[in-house]
Each structure stands twice: as structure tokens, then as C-alpha cells.
Amino acid sequence: MSLAVAVVGGLHADARKAAVDRLLADVPGSVVLHHDLATAAAGTVVRTVRDRDGVVSVGETPLVNDCACCALREDLVPELRRLAHDGTTRLAIVELWDSVEPKAMAEVVASGGLTVTSVITAVDPALVLPYLANGDDLAEAGLAAAATDQRTVADTFARQLEYAPVLAVADSPEADDEDRELLAQLHPTAHQVPITPGPLGQAPYRDRQPPTPDARVTPRDVPPAHAQAHGPGAQAPSDTPASAPDAHAPLRGAHAPAPDAPPAHAQGRGPGAQAPSPDKHAPSPQPCAPTPHPHAPSPLAHAALAGFDVEAAAAAQHPACALLPVEADGHGVSTLVWHRRRPFHPERLYAALEDLTCAAARSRGRFWLADKPDTLLHWDAAGGALCVESAGPWLAALPDAAWEMVPPVRRAAAALDWHPAHGDCCNHLVFTSPALDRDGLTRLLESCLLTDAEYAAGRDAWKRLPPAFDTLLEI
């Protein structure tokens, strides 16, 4: 029997644990593998394996280079291989610790020769905006995965959310229409699956006590491990391939546009009757939902086994071909897609960075600086903080012979956006937020572009403009 691996992550710990418990209840022969990085201060990472009846085993693995996340990487694949070899496990649910990002772990699993069938991020809609607005370092929140971890709560949550093709969404009574709209606009191509309640009588995972490390226990001896306290607050999956296990199976070229004209291509890619009352004075009974078949798999179980392409998921995150959100406006939330084929003036853009970064809860994309006309720059902002880094050359800057070394998805994305004079060089930034000032933001962005006279001076003149971003880019 082949082993399917579903990666479930997210900073929203209660939603994550509810999703994991739902999968345990719905998929026969499933187990959960969890590495608790909160014990790293003691020099080890605690590994717990449990099934629907309770804890199966607990062990420890030492830190690698004083890094808990490195220890997780070293230990994860051998444990999954052991589960595959024992022949009784059908689905291994890798429950990631709070701040561990699913992209890295999915790639580790795939590189170990195992089959990743899904990556799921569990989300509480009421917490999306608070987490996106939280610029605290993970270390301040007790969520750092290594001593050198410099990530923030906001940027970590954003990457967890945007990488996963499936979002397991908690039914949060605190969430309103604005919260749900924000989630939908941040990742419009995600397959959202509600987390339905688990079996009656099952105690919450977070209320149980941890077993003793290094012990081999029976399910009746020790309940599942205690959840760790957490800090403050794409495209749709493909149809199930023929080789994927069944969730309820038994165990086993044109005229050149103006330089600042918007792109010609569309932005839309990414994505029982009531019973009669016996008494006319008696109230009519309310219609009820149909009773599901006892062996019917839940939507979350289907999603966990649907199939996952690690290489395609990585390409969808690359700044050159990322599936960015599209224009949207609803329930007080807006997404502005700003696309121009004229480069930014480095000094004017640098002076506006604080206002641009704080203009939206989340913004990302790629941009073009006049003094670095051959370099594709990545824009990634959340929690009031901006990360700018080089993503290599624009495709137009590469010699023709080098194009064969570029992934096909990158060439396809460039072809959709090709300009006769500039190739794929452009500014493509997306801003999503409640109460977004679309007009003010657009005016500010436009003011940072080269003027007509500056643009007409040509590339040689552009390269002599003051290099305002050199310090930020560590050049």
C-alpha cells in the first residue's frame, strides 16, 4: 500500500488541530506526525505520532546546528519512510508546528521520494486581519524556529496562506462578511473547505496532556500531545488522479502599446421537502439537511488525497510568474491590481515606501527600477513591513541561448505580458485591504514612475540615477 502524505499547517493553531482531527476521523488508516519545536530551548524537538485512538509513539530528535527546523527536516523523511514500510498507514498527516512554512516541508517530503497528495493551511477567518497586521518578530511571540529566525508573524502567515491550494476554514462565530471577503481576495484560487465538527465525545486535542518522551505507548495509555501556545494575533487543486487513494477505501507579437499602458491580456487567471404539519395550529418542522452516507468521505478528506504538484506550487510563488490576486471589491474589502510598463524612479519610490507599505494589509508582486533595468525585483509586504529582494534577471535581459534553461512556466508567463520594446519588464503590484484608498494609492504609485522626459532619456541615463535601493538590497 502506497503512503499518501498530506501537509497541514498554519499559525491558527486551533483551526489547524481541528482540521487534523477531522482528517483522522474521516480517513481510515491515517496517522498524524507532529514535531513540537517549542521544546527546542531544551536542545531537542519532540516527535509525536498518533492515530484516531490516541498517541502511538513519542520520541526526541536533537537540534541540528542549533536549529529546531533543521532537526525537523532531518527527522521527517525517515519517520515517514518508517510509516510507509510498516504497511498499515494509508495517509500520513504532517501537522506542522505553528510557524513552520508548508512550502519547505512539502519540498523536503517530495525530495525524499514520498508522495505529497495535498498541502492544507487551516484558517480562522476572524484572525486573518489581526495576523496580517502583526509585525512582531516570531522570536518576540515565542514562535521562532531557529536562533537566527528573523521572520515576522505577518509575513509568515501570508506565505502559509498563499502557498496552499486548499484552505481548511474554521466556522468562527467571530468572523463576519468582511473577514471572509478578505480571505477570498487574498487567495482567490484556493479551494476553501469548511472544517466540520469531529465525532461526538472526542475531547479537544489541546486539552490533553503530553506523554513522556521516548516512550512507546498504546492508544489507551496516553492521550494526544498538548498543543503549544501560539503567538498573537494559485490555483485550485486538480481532480483526483487515477493513482490517488479513495478517501473511503478499506485499509490497503502586435502593435507596441504606450510605455505606461495597462497589459492587453486579461487578469483573470489567478480563482428535502418540508413535512406537512399534522395540526394546522402546530408549527411546521424545519427542513433538515440530508443525512450523509456513513462511509462518504468528507470534502476535507477528498482534498487531502486529491494530488499535489510540488514544482508547480513553487512556480506559482515565483515573482516572475506568481498567480497574483485579481481586481475585486466587496464587503468593504478591495484588491487593486496596478500594472505599468514604465520603470520607477528609484529616489521617488524609496521616499514613498512607508506610505505604500502601510496602504494595505497585504501587497506583493514584481517591480522595475530604472537604475537596475535588467533586474526583476520582488515586493512582499505585510504587517507594516516590506521585504524587497532581487529575483534574478528579467527574461528580456537574458541571451536567447539561456532561454532553454528557463522553466516553461516562466516563458509562458512572460509571453502573456511581452512588450516589443521592454519584453517582460514591468511593474505588477497587487494591494489587498479593508478600506483601501484605491485612488490615493494609484496617484502615489503613478508619482513614483519616470516622467515622460526621464523615460525618453533612455536606459543609459536611467542607470545613472541615484541608487536609492542599494542599501535595502544589500548591494
pLDDT digits (tens, 9 = 90+) for 107-130: 999 999 999 999 999 999 999 999
User: Between 391 and 225, where is the model more confident?
Assistant: 391
Q: How far apart are CA 225 and CA 54, in angstroms?
A: 9
Per-residue pLDDT at 441: 98
Per-residue pLDDT at 357: 97
Q: How far apart are CA 27 and CA 305, in angstroms?
A: 10
- pLDDT tens per residue across span 82-107: 999 988 999 999 999 999 999 999 99
Question: Mean pLDDT of all residues in the chain?
Answer: 82
User: Between 378 and 87, where is the model more confident?
Assistant: 378
**Which of 14-28, 87-101, 124-138, 185-199 is least confident?**
185-199
Q: How far apart are CA 281 and CA 250, in angstroms?
A: 50
Amino acid at 380: D
Check: CB of residue 109 under 8 Å from CB of residue 76: yes
**Which of 53-57, 71-75, 256-260, 410-414 is least confident?**
256-260
Q: How far apart are CA 312 and CA 320, in angstroms?
A: 13
Q: How far apart are CA 76 and CA 74, in angstroms?
A: 6
Per-residue pLDDT at 148: 85
pLDDT of residue 186 exceeding 50, the answer is yes
Residue burial 242-268, b: 16+ Cβ < 10 Å; e: rest: eebbebbeeeeeeeeeebbeebeeeee
Helix (H, G, I), strand (E, B) or coil at 242: coil
How many other C-beta atoms lie within 10 A of the C-beta of residue 275? 11
Alpha helices in 223-368 (DSSP H): 299-304, 310-315, 346-357
Supply 43's cell numbers.
536542545
Residue range 421-430: mean pLDDT, rounded: 96
pLDDT of residue 290 exceeding 60, the answer is no
Phi, psi of 358 (to 5 degrees): -90, 0
pLDDT of residue 53 exceeding 50, the answer is yes
Percent with pLDDT over 90 in the chain:
66
Check: CB of residue 286 under 8 Å from CB of residue 274: yes
Residues contacting residue 69 through CB under 8 Å, at least 6 positions apart? 37, 100, 104, 145, 146, 149
- pLDDT tens per residue across span 455-475: 999 999 999 999 999 988 875
Per-residue pLDDT at 252: 31
pLDDT band at 68 (very low <50, low <70, confident <90, very high): confident
Q: Tell me which residue has cell 506565505.
A: 159
Phi, psi of 51 (to 5 degrees): -115, -165
- pLDDT tens per residue across span 266-278: 333 333 333 333 3
Per-residue pLDDT at 233: 35
Supply 223's cell numbers.
492521550
Q: How far apart are CA 327 and CA 310, in angstroms?
A: 27
Per-residue pLDDT at 295: 53
Check: CB of residue 194 under 8 Å from CB of residue 299: yes
Distance of CA 174 to the CA centre of its chain: 22
Per-residue pLDDT at 455: 97
pLDDT of residue 249 exceeding 80, the answer is no
Alpha helices in 164-208 (DSSP H): 177-186
pLDDT of residue 163 exceeding 50, the answer is yes
Helix (H, G, I), strand (E, B) or coil at 394: coil
